[in-house]
Amino acid sequence: MVAKAANTGIIAGIIVAHEKKNFKGVRFAVRQRGLAMLKTLLLLPLLGAVLLTLLPGRSVDLMRYLASAVAAATALCAFLLLANFDSTSAEIQFFDTRPWNPRVGSNLALGVDGISLPMVLLATLLCFVAIVSSTGIRSGARLYFSLLLVLETALLIVFTARDWSLFYVCWELTLIPLFFLIDRLGGANRHRAALNFVLYTLGGSVFMLIALLLLYDVAPGHSFAMADMAAGGAQLPVNTQVLIFLGLLLGFGVKMPIVPLHGWLPLAHVEAPSPISILLSGILLKMGAYGLIRAAATLPGAVQALQDWLALLALISLIYGAVLAWRQTDLKAMIAYSSVSHMGVVLLGIAALNQAGLSGALTQMVAHGLVAGLLFLLIGLLYERTHSRELAAYGSLNRIAPRFAVFIVFTLLASVGLPGTAGFIAELQVLVGAYSRWHGWMAVLSIGVLISAAYALRAIRCLSTGPERPVAGVPAGAGLATFVDLKRSETAAAGLLTTGVVILGFYPAPLLRLMASSVASLAQQFTH
C-alpha cells in the first residue's frame, strides 16, 4: 500500500512538473512572438519610408497607396501585439534591451504595459487615418508621406521605450518631421506656426533634460533605465523630488498642453494640413500626458506634494480652454482650444492619484484622440471643398450633405461627453476619482462641460440649420448646392473612428480591463 501511494505521488509529481514545463514553454513562446511583433511594429514605418524614396516622383497615388498599406500593416501588428498581451499582469511585457552606449548606461530598451499599449494602438490607428485622408496632397508627396512614416516610428518608440535616454531622443525626433510638415505644407502663417511649435517644445525639453540628468545621477545602477531611475528618485527627499518633477512638468506640460504653456497649439493647428492636425491633437498631445504619468511613477513623493497644485492647473486649463473655444469662429481654432480643455480633464485625473482618476485619465486620452482626430478629419474635408473654416459661412449641410452632417453632429456631441460615447465614460471616472479628493470643487468640471456644450451646440446650429450661404470656392449664386458629400473612402475613415467612439462608449470593459492591472499598480504607489 505504501509503495503504491509512493508511486502515485511520483507520477503526480512528474505530471505537475511536466505541466509547469509546458506552461513555461507556452509563456516563452508567447513572449517571443510578442517581442518579434513589437520589433516589426517599430521597423515597418521606417521600411515604408525607405520604399517611398524609390518610387517615381509623379506616382502620387501610388505613394499614398503604399503609405496606407504600410500604416495598415503597422496597425495590424499593434492589434496582434494586443492579442498576445496578458492584461492580468502589471509587469512590462515583451521586454527587450540592447546596449546603446554602455559608457553612460543607455540602452535600446523596449516593452509595453497596460498604460503604453492603448497609446500604441491609438497612434497606429490615427496614423493610418491621417495617411488615408491625405488625398489633397499632390505637391511634395514623397517627402510628405515619408515624414509621416518616420513620425509614426518616433511616436511608437516614445510609447514603448523603457529607457529615458531613448525616450528623450525619440521625443525630440518627432519635432523634425512635424517642423517640415507644417513649414512646407501649412497655411499662410505656416513658417511662424512651425517655428513657434519647435521653440516651445525645445524650451520645455531643456528643463526635461536637466531633470533627467539629475535623476540619472542618483540612479543606483547609474543608468537611464526607467526602473533604475525610479528606484533612485523614490529615495530622494521630497523637496528635491519636487524640483526635479517641476522640470519634467515643464517639458511634458508644453506638449499636453497645460495653461499657460499652450501658446503654440492654436496657431499650429490652424496652419497645419488637416491630416497633421489629426496627429497633433489626436496623439502628440497624449505624449505629454503619457510622459507625466511616467514622471509621477518615478517621483511619487513630488506628485503627492504637488497634488492640489496640479488639480488647480487642471481646472484652469479646463475652464480657460473651454471659454476660448466658445469665443472662436474658426472651426479649427475652436477644436484646438477645446483640446486644451479636454487635456485639463486628463491632468485632473492624473492629479487624483487613485485608480478611478488614473483610469479616467487614460480613457480620456484614448477618447479625445478618437474624437479630436475625427473632428479634424471632417473639418479638413470641409475646408478642401469650400476653402473656408468660418462658422458663419455654412448652413443646412444636413440637406445637401447628409452623411457629412450626421458625422459632424455626432462628433461634436461626443466631444461634450454625451452618454453612449467614450468621453462620457472617461469624464465619469475622472469625476469619481477627483471627487474623493476635492469634493465640491468638482463643480468646476461641470461648468467646463456646460461651456463645451455651448460651443458644440452653436457649431451644430451654424452647420446644420438656417439658410444655405455663399461660400468661397463655390460658384456665385449656387450657395452650397454644389457641395460634395463624403466619398466612400472618406466615409470609411470617419466610420472607423466613429465606431471606436461608440464601442468604447457602450462597452468600455476591454479597454478598462487592459489598463486595470497597470493602473492599480501605479495607484498603489500613492497609497503609502
Could you tell me if 217 and 315 lie in one domain?
Answer: no
Contact between 88 and 519 under an 8 Å Cβ cutoff? The reply is no
| CA-CA-CA-CA dihedral for 480, 484, 486, 488, to nearest 10 | 170
Are 301 and 325 members of one domain?
no
The pTM of the full predicted model, rounded to 2 decimals, is 0.88
Q: Is the pLDDT of residue 526 over 60?
A: yes
Q: Are 261 and 313 in contact (CB under 8 A)?
A: no
415, three cell numbers: 466631444
Cell numbers found for residue 478: 449656387
pLDDT average, residue stretch 131-155: 88
* Model pLDDT, residue 396: 72
Q: Which residue has the cell 454625451?
A: 418
Unique residue bearing C-alpha cell 487642471: 314
Task: Among 21-30, 151-160, 219-228, 444-453, name the one with the lowest average pLDDT.
Answer: 21-30
pLDDT of residue 437: 86
Torsion sign across C-alpha atoms 55, 60, 62, 65: positive
409-427 pLDDT, tens digit per residue, is 999 999 988 899 998 999 9
pLDDT tens digit sequence for 457-496: 888 888 877 665 554 444 444 445 557 778 888 889 899 9
- In eight-state DSSP terms, residue 258 is P
- Give the pLDDT band of residue 516 (cuts 50, 70, 90): very high
Does one domain contain both 301 and 312?
Answer: no
| DSSP sequence for 39-83 | HHHHHHHHHHHHHHTTS-TT-HHHHHHHHHHHHHHHHHHHHHHHH
Last residue within a domain, chosen from 305, 320, 340: 305
pLDDT given for residue 207 in this prediction: 92
Query: Residue 450: which H helix or E strand, with range?
Result: helix 443-464
Boundary-marking domain end, from 284, 305, 326: 305
**Residue 317 sits in the same domain as residue 249:** no
Tens digits of residue pLDDT in 305-335: 999 999 999 999 999 999 998 988 888 888 8
Residue pLDDT, tens place only, 172-227: 999 999 989 888 887 778 888 888 888 888 888 999 999 999 999 888 888 899 99
Apex 363 CA angle, 359 and 366, nearest 5: 150
* Helix, strand, coil percentages in the chain from 3-state DSSP, rounded to 5: 75, 5, 20
Same domain, residue pair 416 and 283: no
Same domain, 22 and 121: yes
Residue where a domain stops, chosen among 261, 290, 305: 305
Judge if 436 and 404 occupy the same domain: yes
For residue 13, is pLDDT > 60? no
CA 138, 140, 142, 145 dihedral sign is negative
Say whether both 464 and 501 belong to one domain.
yes
DSSP assignment of 181-192 equals HHHHHS-TTHHH
Phi then psi for residue 98, to 5 deg, are -135, 140
Question: Cell 492624473 maps to which residue?
Answer: 350
96 with 214, same domain: the answer is: yes
Asked if residues 391 and 329 have their Cβ atoms less than 8 Å apart, the reply is yes
Output the pLDDT for position 155: 93
Total domains present in the chain: 2
Quick one: CA dihedral 427, 325, 208, 153, positive or negative? positive
Residue 28 shares a structural domain with residue 123 = yes
Which of 205, 210, 219, 206 is closest to 298 using CA atoms? 219
Please give the Cα distance from 130 to 118 (Å, whole number).
18
> Residue ranges of the alpha helices (H) in 353-442?
355-386, 397-400, 402-416, 422-438
> Measured in whole angstroms, how far is the alpha carbon of residue 487 from the centre of its chain?
27
Predicted pLDDT of residue 145? 92
Does the structure show a pLDDT above 70 at 24?
Answer: no
| Helix, strand or coil, per DSSP, at residue 131 | helix
Verify that 256 and 326 share a domain, yes or no: no
Query: Do 382 and 255 reside in the same domain of the chain?
Result: no
Window from 50-59, 281-290, 355-364, 506-515 with minimum mean pLDDT? 50-59
- The pLDDT value given to residue 222: 84
502: containing domain: 306-528
Which cell goes with 258?
497645460
